[in-house]
Amino acid sequence: MPMEVSYEGGDRFTLTVRGHDVVMDQPRDVGGEDDGATPTELFIGTIAACVGFYAERFLRRHDLSPEGLRIEVNFDMAEERPARVRTIDIRVVAPSLSEERRTAFERVIDHCTLHNTLRDPPQVHIDVVEPARA
């Protein structure tokens, strides 16, 4: 899946994927203009959204309403180097979930695509190219 991230000035970047643009920036207190979420915040948010997608699909598949479904997420950074996220806490609020479906629901949402990716991390390759080759 091709994507592109373009520098927009200051600490601001725009991610373009399938015709959609997502602005990323840094907070003002670290030198940005706060025009968007940070890449780390987007990373954490997409994990929560992935859990939400699996939760919503489970609820619909079992004829339960996704109304009121909410995913709350909190994270903290490791204090030591290298810079990285230390913990991610996700709380799923699913008002229509019945107690008898809870265990199956927990199994399904624990295996969203991004969570699976964190369990078995991909290889990341970075190649610096000349502008003419880009």
Per-residue pLDDT of the chain (134 residues; tens, 9 = 90+): 899 999 999 999 999 999 999 999 999 999 999 999 999 999 999 999 999 999 999 999 999 999 999 999 999 999 999 999 999 999 999 999 999 999 999 999 999 999 999 999 999 999 999 887 65
Domain that holds residue 26: 1-36
Domains identified in the chain, total number? 2
Q: What would the two tokens of residue 125 be?
A: 């390759």
pLDDT at 134: 57
Q: Are residues 54 and 101 in the same domain?
A: yes
Q: Examine residue 88 and state whether it is found in any structural domain, yes or no.
A: yes
Calpha distance 77→109 (Å, rounded): 24
Q: Are residues 6 and 61 in the same domain?
A: no
Q: Examine residue 45 and state whether it is found in any structural domain, yes or no.
A: yes
**Owner of token pair 């399904």:** 108
Alpha carbon of 13 to those of 19, 22, 41, 47, 58: distances in Å? 15, 8, 14, 20, 35
Q: Examine residue 134 and state whether it is found in any structural domain, yes or no.
A: no
- DSSP secondary structure letter of residue 63: T
Q: Are residues 12 and 74 in the same domain?
A: no
